[in-house]
Chains A and B, each alone.
Chain A
């Protein structure tokens, strides 16, 4: 199993009610699997906030895997067995202007 630390910042953290959580994912774990696990935990509405469609992330979501920005859902999360941190920050999809 791959142990992945998830950090939810700003609005996502406020929505989820927590900033820090840990996921256990089957190996090999991909970003997609982590997002599936988040959906399982927080519901489909949470997924809608982060996915534009089944193939693409929302343009206003920023995801970093070990501090490197990624946009590919197939990004492998477990690297050489080292602990992995995935941080997600949802920027406002729509501001007042």
Chain B
């Protein structure tokens, strides 16, 4: 027996407030540092973000900080050959040398054509958003993306949450909601925005008796906590949501008329071509005034006087209202139709529609902090699962129509955007943003995560970006940055340049986008690649220079949780602004990437642009605006932002001591929709023009943009997988987020890896027991999973009753092969390797990559079994 040594009394024993970055949820933490060593991470109970509690990933950050495989020195490739599994033959170089090389490359590209710089940045580290965006603006490149982040996250969800809720995502109003329907979403039950806060709030809601219906092909996480799990065929969410809408409108004739008149474009009159009827003098959309029986501009009639239904005769034309068009559109979309597509019994769809309508309590009010407000305690929410498909836009929009019909959008108990309206700290009035209306009365979000707003959409134009977002304005993220047909598309649309330098921050696009072969080919076309990262990854196999980054435990940021539309929990409670600060000193020669970008800007000669970019991005107000020609550290910029928002006494030092600043939310902010005079489109009239303009550019170049994706009203449109007819390929492989892993990044964390190994789902492909029996498989068998296109991965099956019989559910983003991450290597099932990355498998509306694949599964005998 070995006797434990007597622990000496610690010279230093402190708890340091900061922000987690094990996922983009960015919960507030306290790091316990004893004699310079991080010994524990706990939640910060002073903060609204997690309320002092953390998920398994947040706790395990210690093992990422101290991973001996972390990068410590700049590296230069000596092997010019690049490829999967090819050793770059790294040599260590000094920072001076690395910066000389990188600075020179970037200066040269900027002089030549700044658009030739391609930036990719991980979403996991939310703090990287502002420094990287601002650097891109200052440099002058429009080419940046978040690798798989967006494609596999909320391309459609963010667009539609932005247009319909002025926010990045939606949640049920957990404090008041009585009936929530989740379509492929896990809010409050796994990772994600405001993750730990939402976990607590969702648990309170369940304990309070909130009825939760989870429409999902797999019964894990949210499904497991559902009052009712509704398994569906993968990717058919719109068919169920539209069937429920049909029940509300045609079987129950139930909708919130005052809401639809005042808060949507439902009463707008439309002409025979589907466009709004407009006032000749003001160009404003017209509505039918029931008092004068005439058409008038929408802002010249009190909402209650507007006709919501009917076809009205204006200048001899028969003009249905937008709502009338929606009604007609829903007529054939019965629950029986929904069943034929989704496999969910019509009786179930009908009952869900009836329950949703009944529980909405249309017409009721409730008092919140002295304000009497509409009370609509039902919410239909969706996220990654429902919209991770070729039919991304309509799947999500169809779900949100449920909220619009019953008037529960951003009302008490309803479907809330995360914090779209903020009146600011009571002492300074900052930060301040409120949704506002455009000329058509439709809502523009008061704040967004990027300059590219979801609405108003820009006119489609000839592409200037690698992404083709110019041509496809509904896109938030585009697969063209790494698709097999990118060169073909660039040629077709005369992209006037090609990327020359790729600057990567923390992305591992080999794993996170789609099949590695396709991504590798796109990387090999880029002449010079710089990667700033915590580890050598599979992506590094294509990099020329690798620079060692500080992890979140070693870095600063003034705004880890801003904008509030991203991560602060929705609903009543408190506003909360935390900061990030180093809990331990950076080891090795690691440098904070935010500071590195300041240094690079100076070397390139864009200091003025960078400083002005920070003034714009952080909305810095005098006297805390950056002087253009002065050199600031990122820490100093953080200090300016905090003082600009919260007064000169609340700079970075104050926040480092106190951790967070908080102030109470008001009903006028949380339930802003009742107070602000803005409307949202239940009828996306603008898509008519968008398609015509896009098509006018595409058709002469031999490119077809299918019109059915641009109808103003949502339909169910099939994925490629739904149209596969091969009998051997009988299952829909899909992936979902595991609660214990964040993308590919955490696979190297040994605590999380060990936990995932013990979980029956994390590293397996979940298959229905009956499908397993049919194929002669036992639980735990090794199998080959093969796509119609002949791509093949291997993994172990987990036979379960908790999945749709046609589904093959795979968790997380596994597939590491690099020796540099020995914990991660070989773990899990590399489902992304089955994904095609091309236009055929992307939405013709918002370029969302389809994440479901029709596969065949066969036992894999021999070496693996």
Contacts and interface: CB of A to CB of B under 8 A. Distances in A.
Interface in A52-97: 52, 55-56, 58-60, 62, 64, 67, 69, 87, 89, 91-97
A82 to B, nearest CB: 16
B374 to A, nearest CB: 30
B594 interface: no
B595 interface: no
Interface residues of A, number: 27
A9 B613 contact: yes
A94 B137 CA distance: 11
B469 A94 contact: yes
Contacts of B470: 93-94
A10 B469 contact: no
B496 to A, nearest CB: 13
B478 A97 contact: yes
A1 interface: no
Most buried by B among A13, A62, A69, A92: A92
A14 B476 CA distance: 24
B114 A94 contact: no
B514 to A, nearest CB: 14
B213 interface: no
Interface in A17-40: 19
Contact of A9 (B150, B444, B612): B612
B110 interface: yes
A95 B465 contact: yes
Contacts of B609: 9-10, 13, 19, 89
A11 B137 contact: yes
Contacts of A95: 136, 142-145, 450-452, 465, 467, 469
A58 to B, nearest CB: 8
Contacts of A67: 622, 625
Interface string B414-451: 00000000000000000000000001000010000011
Interface centre among A60, A62, A64, A95 (most CB of B within 10 A): A95
B399 to A, nearest CB: 22
B575 to A, nearest CB: 23
Nearest to B463: A94
Contacts of B110: 14
A10 B137 contact: yes
Given A10-B139, A67-B622, A59 B444 contact: yes
Nearest to B467: A96
Given A62-B616, A67-B625, A11 B140 contact: yes
B452 to A, nearest CB: 5
Nearest to B620: A67
B616 A96 contact: no
Contact of A96 (B481, B615, B625): B481
A11 B450 CA distance: 15
A63 to B, nearest CB: 10
Given A59-B444, A97-B146, A92 B466 contact: no
B613 A97 contact: no
Interface string B125-155: 0000000000011111111111001110001
A13 B136 CA distance: 13
Contacts of A97: 144-146, 149-151, 155, 467, 469, 475-478, 481
A13 to B, nearest CB: 7
Contacts of B625: 67
Nearest to A8: B609
Contacts of A10: 137-140, 609, 612-613
Contacts of B143: 95-96
A15 B470 CA distance: 17
A60 B136 CA distance: 14
A13 B451 contact: no
Given A9-B613, A60-B452, A94 B465 contact: yes
B619 to A, nearest CB: 8
A95 B146 CA distance: 10
B75 interface: no
B478 A11 contact: no
Given A94-B473, A96-B481, A97-B155, A60 B608 contact: no
B453 interface: yes
A2 B417 CA distance: 46
B458 interface: yes
A55 B612 CA distance: 26
B142 A92 contact: yes
B456 interface: yes
Contacts of A91: 137, 451, 616
Nearest to A88: B612
Given A14-B114, A94-B470, A96-B467, A59 B138 contact: no
B142 A93 contact: yes
Given A11-B114, A52-B456, A67-B625, A96 B137 contact: no
Contacts of A64: 615
A53 to B, nearest CB: 9
Contacts of A60: 451-453
Most A CB within 10 A of own CB, among B453, B616, B625? B616
Nearest to B481: A96
B608 A96 contact: no
14 contacts: A10-B140, A11-B141, A14-B140, A59-B444, A60-B451, A60-B452, A89-B137, A93-B452, A94-B465, A96-B480, A97-B146, A97-B150, A97-B469, A97-B475
Given A95-B469, A96-B143, 9 more contacts: A19-B609, A55-B439, A56-B439, A60-B453, A94-B467, A96-B142, A96-B481, A97-B146, A97-B469
Interface of B: 110, 114, 118, 120, 136-146, 149-151, 155, 439, 444, 450-453, 456, 458, 465-467, 469-470, 473, 475-478, 480-481, 608-609, 612-613, 615-616, 619, 622, 625
Enumerate the 10 nearest inter-chain pairs by beta-carbon distance, A residue then B residue, closest first: A97-B477, A91-B451, A96-B145, A94-B469, A60-B451, A14-B140, A92-B142, A96-B467, A97-B145, A11-B140
